[in-house]
Amino acid sequence: MSRGALELIGQSGLGYSFDPLIEGQEPHPYSVCAKELIPVTFTMTFPRIYMLPTLVNIGSARFRRFAVEILALFWGNARKLRDIIDVMHHTSVEIFEAKKCALKEEGHDQGYGKDIMNVVRPTTSHTTDTTSNGLSRILHLLALNPDAQTRLRDEISAARAKFGDDIPYDELVGLPFADAVCRETLRLYPPVGMVTRETRKDVVLPLSTPITGLDGRSMHEITVPSNTTVIVSIFGVNRDPALWGPDAGEWKPERWLNPLPRTLVEAHLPGIYSNS
Ligand code: HEM
């Protein structure tokens, strides 16, 4: 799934094929690195959050690289992260340069190439991880729920019979049960379980339902000082029985084919697709 997701973003976003999934062929090194990046960075959460913002301002880039080389001599994870980042950086630069040359030859404005690279470079790992997690989870849930699998298969087979193998995009995204399976999977198993936000000024956060403090007092709002990191749990809100009903913890694609509970609609959750 990781290799597939990388190939999707490669071909659609960059016009570049990393790895066309030929049997027996080794995955592209970028694909291996993209998969390892997040687990390795998680082992370094403390220095990354509390030390890196200061360290990146010390000395020149060459000096900082030298410091990384020293660190990598005795810290295995720093070595791993250095190698991962080197592969990702060099691959990105290679694709970027190749694209620039191609655009020059075709006589197009180079600005387009720059834009797309700027967007994709920091997000390729995000897109491969989230997409491959989502797809893997869908396949797993379909294996566990054969009735849903049959229903989805029938829907897709009927669309193929009507439109041929290459179902047009609008028809594909309009398949109701396929859409419900995607939404329900992203709801119950969001590939990104939480996001963080930082307050830029002192704010008062109103609560949808009051909570009781340690001193027994009921609170309807919380004061959040400036520069506080707030962790927003997508996972929690997507499984809240007060919003979704008592079956919030169950995987039921059909819930998206019926009107959603009023509690949910009125909660006005921000989210582009399935609150994911
Ligand atoms: C199932 C797949 C995906 C999931 C669950 C997902 C989830 C998310 C989440 C939760 C954020 C918000 C992070 C935050 O605000 O702190 C985000 C941001 C973003 N995602 Fe995805 N994503 C997915 C696929 C993709 C794909 C395929 C692309 C691009 C081709 C993409 C590009 C972006 C970009 C550019 C942002 C930053 C948007 C901004 O800050 O304005 N994502 N994604």
240: Cβ contacts below 8 Å, ≥ 6 apart: 248
Structure tokens at 217: 């007092």
Give the per-residue pLDDT at 13: 81
Q: What is the pLDDT at residue 9?
A: 86
- Answer yes or no: do 251 and 265 share one domain: yes
In sequence order, the β-bridge partners of residue 221 are 206
Q: What's the pLDDT band for 102 if we cut at 50, 70, 90? A: confident
Average pLDDT estimate for 4-24: 87
46 and 19 assigned to the same domain: yes
Look at residue 30 and tell me whether its pLDDT is greater than 80. Answer: yes
Q: Which two tokens stand for residue 152?
A: 């989805």
Report pLDDT for 120: 54
Distance set, CA 248 to CA 134, 140, 194 (Å): 19, 19, 18
220, part of any domain? no
What local confidence, expressed as pLDDT, does residue 123 receive?
62
Specify if 78 maps to a domain.
yes
**What percent of the chain clears pLDDT 70, i.e. is strictly above it?**
91
Q: Do the domain assignments include residue 133?
A: yes
State in Å: Cα 272 to ligand 1 middle: 10
Please indicate, yes or no, if residue 23 is contained in any of the structural domains. Answer: yes
pLDDT in tens, 69-100: 999 999 999 999 999 999 999 999 998 898 88
Residue 212 lies in a domain: no
Residue 15 has pLDDT above 90, yes or no: no
Ligand 1 surroundings by CB, under 6 angstroms = 9, 13, 119, 123, 126-127, 130-131, 134, 191-192, 195, 276
CA 12 from chain centre, in angstroms, equals: 17
Domain region containing 246: 145-200+228-276
Domain boundary among 144, 161, 183: 144
Question: 98 and 46 in one domain?
Answer: yes
The pLDDT score that the predictor gives to residue 206 is: 92
- Tell which atom from ligand 1 comes closest to the C-alpha of 190: 5
The pLDDT tens digits for 211-250 are: 999 999 999 999 999 999 999 999 999 999 999 999 999 9
Confidence of residue 107 (pLDDT cuts 50, 70, 90): low
> Quick one: pLDDT at residue 119?
54
For residue 65, is pLDDT > 60?
yes
Sign of CA dihedral 42, 45, 49, 52: negative
Quick one: 100 and 158 in the same domain? no
Q: Whose CA is nearest to atom 42 of ligand 1?
A: 127
In a shared domain, residues 84 and 187 = no
> Do both 140 and 166 map to the same domain?
no
Q: Which pair of tokens denotes residue 122?
A: 């920091």
Please indicate, yes or no, whether residues 92 and 186 belong to a single structural domain of this protein. no
185 in the same domain as 87: no
Give the per-residue pLDDT at 96: 87
Does one domain contain both 99 and 71? Answer: yes
> DSSP assignment, residue 16?
-
- Which amino acid, 264? L
Which residues, in sequence order, are bridge partners of residue 233?
A: 194
The region that residue 195 occupies, defined by phi over 0 for left and psi between -120 and 50 for alpha, beta otherwise, is: beta
Contacts of 143 (CB under 8 A, 6+ apart): 149
- How big is the CA angle at 89 (ends 85 and 92), to the nearest 5 degrees? 140
> Between residues 119 and 45, which one has the greater pLDDT?
45
Burial class (CB in 10 A: 0-12, 13-18, 19+), 105: exposed
- Among the three residues 75, 109, 144, which one is the final residue of a domain in this structure? 144
How many angstroms does the Cα of residue 133 sit away from the middle of ligand 1? 13
Binned at pLDDT 50, 70 and 90, residue 192 comes out as very high
Q: How many domains is the chain partitioned into structurally?
A: 2
Residue with tokens 């005795």: 74
Note whether residue 63 is domain-resident: yes
Residue 52 has pLDDT above 80, yes or no: yes
Question: Do 35 and 80 lie in a common domain?
Answer: yes
Ligand 1 centre and the CA of 127: distance in Å?
A: 7
Residue 205 lies in a domain: no
Mean of all residue pLDDT scores within the chain:
89
Shared domain check, 158 and 126: no
Q: Are residues 100 and 176 in the same domain?
A: no
For the cut 50, the answer to whether the pLDDT of residue 114 exceeds it is: no
Q: Is residue 139 part of a domain?
A: yes
Helix (H, G, I), strand (E, B) or coil at 228: coil
Task: Give the position of tokens 């959050």.
Answer: 49
Does residue 110 have a pLDDT over 70?
no
